[in-house]
Amino acid sequence: MFPKNFLWGGALAAPQVEGAYNLGGKTLTIPDCHVFNDKNDRKVTKQVQLNRALIEEAKSSLENKFPKRWGIDFYHTYKDDLKYFKEMGFKVFRYSICWARVLPQGDFNINEEGLKFYDQLIDEIIANDMIPLITISHFDFPIVLIDKYGGWANRDLIDIYVHYCKVLFDRYKNKVKYWVTFNEINMSLKAGQKTLGILNEGQANYEEMLFQGLHHQFVAAAKVTQYAHSLNEDLKIGSMVAYFTTYPHTCKPEDALAMLQEDQMKNQFYLDVLNLGEYPFYSLSYMRNKNIEIKIEQGDLELIKNHTADYIGMSYYNSMISAADTSVLELTNANVHSVFKNPHLPANEWGWQIDPVGLRYTLNHVYSRYKQPIFILENSSGFFDTLEEDGSIHDPYRIKFLNDHIKQMALAIQDGVEVIGYTMWGPIDMISSGTSEMSKRYGFVYVDQDDYGQGSKRRIRKDSFYWYKEVIRTNGGLIV
Ligand code: BGP
């Protein structure tokens, strides 16, 4: 069912694995300021909303309470860790570059030492027979750019980001073909500090600032796509959204309309701009109705029109429901924000609902609209794992989750959707982006480390490791 050259693999991101937060010239990033709060109810994902006071506190604090500062020490262990992925037969490995390692001042001074680390990492990925797929910015905005510029609300960020990308493209254009400009760009309106570096300090026009920041990201994405193609037409620069698939609560027309409007503003808006090259009508009326006025300079729209993304990058974790009257609905957790719960679906321990059929639905839905190849850049679910006394880890729940989603992906391919690759999220355990805990595990490879960074750090293959290896070896033939 899968095309011969289908790109099977896995995805990680620097801020959740790399550690070495103050080595090699790197400066602080937003995730370096996220604390782990063990008093959190795990069923309630508490997205840490950083404000200036918390950032100032984190800057001066050397206390052992910021798990993303140590990650899984991938900075030092990547050579050994990549071997596990090679053993599973990965064709592709998605990884992000840390902006603050390459440009510690955020803007213009290049840090050779930071680049050398990525030279070695990329060479090692290739030496292990994997294609590197690089995310340029994955939820780790440099703090220094908040201090100096106030984040993406400032138009200067366009040139700064373009400069950063040029450094990467010039250096890796012959080694890296697939790029992603911004991880899950559609998280911006829900988590502005996480993706746009715009702090919510009670500004009356905060939403307007977020739309302005997004506009700057759209222009920057177009500019860097133009630059990459000028270097080599074969470079593939992708957009990326976290697709929030939504269903109507009932078959009432009002609920169907609510669903359509959610889909428009949560998902399609971003892909319409990045992949179709224009601000859709509904986004303009949304802004008008809320008195949001953003500054669009001459030439911006032309750039956006002329330099669209080469493929659609998408993460898929869960779905949600929409209704005209939401007072009757119950909330549950989902990726980055809470959503209305679907009574027909099970959920993991964190309340994220599990919906494999939604993946087939989404792939068909997205492909009908954009008719561009789709790369599934993240998919999986967090689970608690138990390390048995004999050193084994049995994780049938993970195998089931992935099997069921891969099966629906195969059916979508059979429907005619062009899916070019699948990088499951988190092939090795790491720090959770949302809760900064280690116990929420995704990996095929277990890391013996707890929420406080304690443990032997030993890597252990779980049952799912052998299963995924077979899935890749049989090009999906193992899926039932
Ligand atoms: C996505 C992020 C990833 C990852 C994933 C799972 O939104 O791109 O970085 O972390 O969600 O989320 P969590 O780690 O909170 O379980």
Domain-wise residue ranges, the chain: 7-473
Q: What is the pLDDT of residue 42?
A: 59
The finding on whether 350 has its CB within 6 A of some atom of ligand 1 is: no
Give me the pLDDT at residue 64, please: 80
What is the C-alpha to C-alpha distance for residues 26 and 314, in angstroms, rounded to an integer?
29
May I ask the CATH class of domain 7-473?
alpha beta
Quote the ligand 1 centre to 163 CA distance (angstroms): 27
The closest residue, in CA terms, to atom 10 on ligand 1 is 433
What pLDDT, on the 0 to 100 scale, is given for residue 395?
A: 98
Q: How far is the CA of 318 from the centre of ligand 1 (A)?
A: 12
As a whole number of angstroms, the distance between CA 353 and CA 434 comes to 16
Residue 139 has pLDDT above 80, yes or no: yes
Residue 437 catalytic? Answer: no
Q: Is residue 178 lining ligand 1, measured as CB closer than 6 Å?
A: no
CA distance 404 to 459: 26
The band of 39, judged by pLDDT with boundaries at 50, 70 and 90, is low
- Work out the average pLDDT over 318-345: 94
Determine the atom of ligand 1 nearest the C-alpha atom of 187: 7
Residue 89: pLDDT above 90? yes
The pLDDT value recorded for residue 43 is 53
The finding on whether 125 has its CB within 6 A of some atom of ligand 1 is no
Residue 383 predicted with pLDDT over 80: yes
- Mean pLDDT for 291-320 is 98
**Ligand 1 lined by 348 (C-beta under 6 Å):** no
Residue 110 has pLDDT above 90, yes or no: yes
For range 14-42, the mean pLDDT = 89
Q: Whole-number mean pLDDT of the chain?
A: 96
Catalytic: which of 18, 184, 262, 437?
184
**Res 117: pLDDT:** 98
Question: What pLDDT does 336 receive?
Answer: 83
Confidence at 48, pLDDT banded by 50, 70, 90: low
Q: Which pLDDT score is estimated for 3?
A: 96
**Residue 278 pLDDT level (bands cut at 50, 70, 90):** very high
User: Would you state the structure tokens that stand for residue 250, as one six-digit string?
Assistant: 């009932």
Which position has the token pair 């982006």? 433
Q: Is the CB of 188 under 6 A from ligand 1?
A: no
Exactly one of 378, 418, 437, 470 is catalytic; name it: 378
302 is catalytic: no
Please state the atom number of ligand 1 nearest to the C-alpha of residue 184.
8
Looking at 117-121, 134-138, 187-191, which range is the least confident one?
A: 187-191
Does 26 have pLDDT greater than 60? yes
Q: CA-to-CA distance for 305 and 284, rounded, in angstroms?
A: 16
Please say whether the dihedral angle defined by the alpha carbons of residues 292, 295, 298 and 304, taken in this order, is positive or negative: negative
pLDDT at residue 50 in the model: 87
Residue 306 has pLDDT above 80, yes or no: yes
Q: Which two tokens stand for residue 408?
A: 């629906």
Greater pLDDT, 194 or 371: 371
pLDDT at 49: 77
In single-letter form, the type of residue at position 222 comes to A
The predicted model gives 93-109 an average pLDDT of 97
Give the model's pLDDT for residue 71: 98
Q: Is the pLDDT of residue 45 over 70?
A: no
* Closest atom of ligand 1 to CA, residue 440: 16
Mean pLDDT of 397-408: 98
30-39, 370-379, 416-425, range with the lowest pLDDT: 30-39
The average pLDDT across 459-469 equals 98
Determine the distance from the C-alpha atom of residue 473 to the mean position of all C-alpha atoms in its chain, rounded to a whole number.
26
Q: How far is the CA of 385 from the centre of ligand 1 (A)?
A: 18
Of residues 279 and 44, the one with the higher pLDDT is: 279
- Please give the average per-residue pLDDT across 360-370, as a whole number: 98
Task: Provide the pLDDT confidence category of residue 251 given band limits of 50, 70 and 90.
Answer: very high
Higher pLDDT, 398 or 194: 398
- Four-point Cα dihedral 166, 167, 173, 179, nearest 10: -70
